[in-house]
Amino acid sequence: MLLLLWEASAARGWIVSDNWPRFSSVLVAAWVGLWSGELAQILGSTLYRMLAGYAAGCALGVLFGVLLGNIRLLDWLIRPLLEIQRTLPSPAIIPPLILFLGVDDTLKIVIIMLAVFQPVFVNTYGGVRGLDETMLMTARTLSLNRFDTLRKIVLPASLPAIAAGMRIALSLALIMAVIGEMISGSSGVGNYLMTMQYAMRADSMYAAVICLAAAGYIMNRIFLVVESAALHWHHSARAE
């Protein structure tokens, strides 16, 4: 209904503006861009950076969350630094990073990684520290060493919390990928949006936004399917 209202508002002249094209024109621009391969290539460039930064951020977030959740000395030494970094808005650190990393893909991947790291770390750390003490006492009773306790008890029990952090981070990764491309990009959806804005091609600009939203929705659905398969035991226990 909202899309029909969009179409009617432009077609009937309720909103008269070069920046408000008909929705049908946006769909045509999206189809032409995808069919020609231009929009698909631009979207693929953004998704590549996003997934690279997302994977790195998730790996570091889980690693630090597990280490700091288990080792009190590391928690005391490192967590204050991570808390300081967490309070900094991600776009605010882009200009300093440009001085060290330049404006190529490395910069954008690092920006995404830093944004993804925080929710994954916080959820992993909370999952590890919130572990039922009875489970750890059982591990000691069975004479499990630290590595086996981590592998067989801590990580499996923390997986629901880790998955929640990774799902939050998925949308953050896409947001930061686009912001990074807007600020210092020469390719990708963010750079394309800015170019279309300056060129006053509103239909192409909205087409890119719609394709980006569709890609984000599809990735979220894929994540939910994988999460459901990996944590079927957790969902079954909750249902019972």
Q: Residue 147, SS3?
A: helix
Give the rounded percent of residues in the chain with a pLDDT score beyond 70: 96
* 115-133: average pLDDT: 88
The predicted structure's pLDDT at residue 221? 93
The predicted structure's pLDDT at residue 144? 73
- What pLDDT, in 10s, does the model give residues 185-209? 677 888 888 888 888 888 889 999 9
- Is residue 140 very low, low, confident or very high in pLDDT (cuts 50, 70, 90)? confident
- What pLDDT, in 10s, does the model give residues 32-57? 888 888 888 999 999 999 999 999 99
DSSP character at residue 61: H
Give the rounded percent of residues in the chain with a pLDDT score beyond 90: 30
- What pLDDT, in 10s, does the model give residues 76-105? 888 888 888 778 777 778 788 888 887 788
46 and 188 Cβ atoms separated by less than 8 Å: yes
- What pLDDT, in 10s, does the model give residues 58-67? 999 999 998 8
101 vs 166, residue with greater confidence: 166
- What pLDDT, in 10s, does the model give residues 150-160? 777 888 888 88
Closest residue by Cα to residue 90 from 60, 125, 64, 116 = 116
The predicted structure's pLDDT at residue 237? 44
- Is residue 235 very low, low, confident or very high in pLDDT (cuts 50, 70, 90)? low
Residues 6+ apart with CB under 8 A from 65: 120, 121, 122, 123, 124, 125, 127, 128, 158, 162
The predicted structure's pLDDT at residue 234? 60
DSSP character at residue 152: I
Which range among 100-109, 113-122, 176-185 has the greatest average pLDDT? Answer: 113-122
Structure tokens at 132: 């039922």
